[in-house]
Amino acid sequence: MIRFLLKGLLRDRSRSLLPIVTVVLGSMLTVIGFSWLNGAISTIVESSANFSAGHVKVMSRAYAREADQAPNDLALEGVRELVAELEKNYPGLVWTPRIRFGGLLDIPDEKGETRAQGPAAGLAVDLRSAKSPERRLLNLDTAIVRGRLPGKPGEILLSDGFARRLGVEPGGTATLIGATMYGSLVVQNFTVSGTIRFGITAMDRGAVLADIGDIQGALDMTDSAGEILGFFRDSFYRSAEAADLAASFNSARREETDEFAPEMVTLRSQGGLAQTLDFATAIYSLMLVLFVLVMSIVLWNTGLMGSLRRYGEFGIRLALGEDKGHLYRSLIAEGTIIGFLGSAVGTALGLGVSYYLQTKGVNIGSMLKNASMIITDVLRARVTPVSYVIGFVPGLLATFLGKAISGIGIYKRQTSQLAKEFEA
């Protein structure tokens, strides 16, 4: 039976060409859309985790309520002891403290007078410790544009565009003017050891990267930090596991009434990321449903036209005694073959384009000039095992529905009228 159907499809291209082309296009677009959206979501999650949110984050309760403002006056104290406790109780994660700070960066001339100034968004991380994960998380080794990473106290990194606007070169002096943890004015000189480019517009506008020990001293935050970030050791964010971990941590401190008691939040619960991810998932689900509906309608119309053209063939097969159910099932089997072949070709083409987008990516930096979201300028597709099968969903489902609907007319044929039909 399969051989018979294949021969019919190969010998009569009008029965297979348009349906297969339709399925190829639908499956290809489905694979590309899925891989692209999967890559975009993964990029957003990875960038947000590495540069801002972690997979989980520990803050004081007061700090958490105003986390967007980075209120260092509400920072955690006793950070060394707290990090040691987290490492003991949750060994499956890597823990690293950070301080987010802001201020005015002043560049002096040869006489020590102000030559240039600019607002700075600072991030203090552990740059000098051998076991620190920060160089890997922030991709610092490849982000360096000029100069080198800080190797001794009092050295900082500036985003390359920010440094060029201020006219400061590696080895130059930069003065941070800001506020300490207790609200006092701080004026601290640093040496610019190098410049970096993260490829994230929100950070490259005016970022200052410093060692956390230097900033703790400058901002009077001894053994304090605004945030302690936790990352799964395999670098993959697992939402359910992170939520359970945060619930366990917070439950153990439920009886504490101190507003400076530590509180753990997950990546998904920060910065509206949950809404972003849910929206992206909903968009793709809607896209998949639309592909199935549109392809089904096209294939249904194609099936109806084919049924009219094959009206005599169906009549002869019925007149020879073929059962209506068998004829109907053969049409569905024919559609399944078309769906499988078209889905296979469409998936192969879609994977080729997806792999290209995964390697090359698309630069959307021009769209992010005023963006505050932590997301890389280059979005890439991401091919996963699901990418190899997702194209078969609309391909097979649409052809099945198209043949099933168009073939219903077979049951409306009256066997007693076949002789009259042939005379006509």
The size of the chain, in residues, is 424
- Same domain? For 216 and 357 the reply is no
Is there a domain that residue 251 lies in? no
Round to whole Å and give the CA distance between 217 and 290.
58
Q: Is 314 helix (H, G, I), strand (E, B) or coil?
A: helix
* Of 57-61, 142-146, 263-267, 292-296, minimum mean pLDDT range: 292-296
Residue 316 lies in a domain: yes
**Least confident window among 43-52, 62-71, 323-332:** 323-332
Q: Please choose, from the candidates 316, 295, 276, 355, the residue with its C-alpha nearest in 3D space to the C-alpha of residue 53.
A: 276
Cβ neighbourhood burial of 18 (10 Å; 0-12, 13-18, 19+): middle
Residue 306 lies in domain: 2-47+275-423
The C-alpha atoms of residue 97 and residue 53 are separated, in whole angstroms, by 12
Are residues 285 and 193 part of one domain? no
Closest to 301 (Cα-Cα) out of 392, 214, 405: 405
281 and 386 together in one domain: yes
**Within 10 Å of residue 140's Cβ, how many Cβ atoms?**
19
Which range scores top for mean pLDDT: 17-21, 29-33, 160-164? Answer: 160-164
Confidence of residue 304 (pLDDT cuts 50, 70, 90): low
Pick the last residue of a domain from 182, 207, 236: 236
Whether residue 306 is found in the same domain as residue 352 = yes
Q: What is the pLDDT of residues 155-213, one digit of tens each?
A: 999 998 889 999 999 999 999 998 888 888 989 999 999 999 887 777 778 889 999 99
When pLDDT is cut at 50, 70 and 90, the band that residue 372 belongs to is very low
- Residue 399 within any structural domain of the chain: yes
Report strand pairing: 93-108 vs 173-179: antiparallel
Q: Mean of the per-residue pLDDT values for the chain?
A: 81
Q: Are 300 and 175 in the same domain?
A: no
Summarised one tens digit per residue, pLDDT across range 208-219 is 999 999 999 999
Q: Is residue 387 part of a domain?
A: yes
What tokens were used for 143? 């982000």
Structure confidence by residue, pLDDT tens digits, 154-165: 999 999 888 999
- Does residue 187 share a domain with residue 87? yes
Cβ–Cβ < 8 Å for 263, 64: yes
In a domain, 112, yes or no: yes
Residue ending a domain, choose from 189, 208, 236: 236
- C-alpha closest to that of 266 among 67, 62, 23, 49: 49
At 262 the pLDDT is 92
Cα of 364 vs its chain's centroid, Å: 14
What angle is formed at CA 146 by the lines to CA 142 and CA 151, rounded to 5 degrees?
A: 80
From 236, 257, 288, give the residue that closes a domain: 236
Tokens, residue 71: 């209120």
Residues 206, 62 within the same domain: yes
Quote the CA–CA distance of 229 and 109 in Å, as a whole number.
38
In a domain, 264, yes or no: no
Which residue did the predictor score with more confidence, 225 or 20? 225
365 belongs to a structural domain: yes
Residue at 79 is within a domain:
yes
Q: Are 209 and 190 in contact (CB under 8 A)?
A: no
> Are 29 and 130 found together in one domain?
no
The domain tally of the chain equals 2
Q: Has residue 229 got a pLDDT over 90?
A: yes
Give the N- to C-terminal CA distance of the chain in Å, as an integer: 30
Judge if 213 and 309 occupy the same domain.
no
User: Do both 183 and 326 map to the same domain?
Assistant: no
118, 29: one domain? no
Residues 168 and 201 in one domain: yes
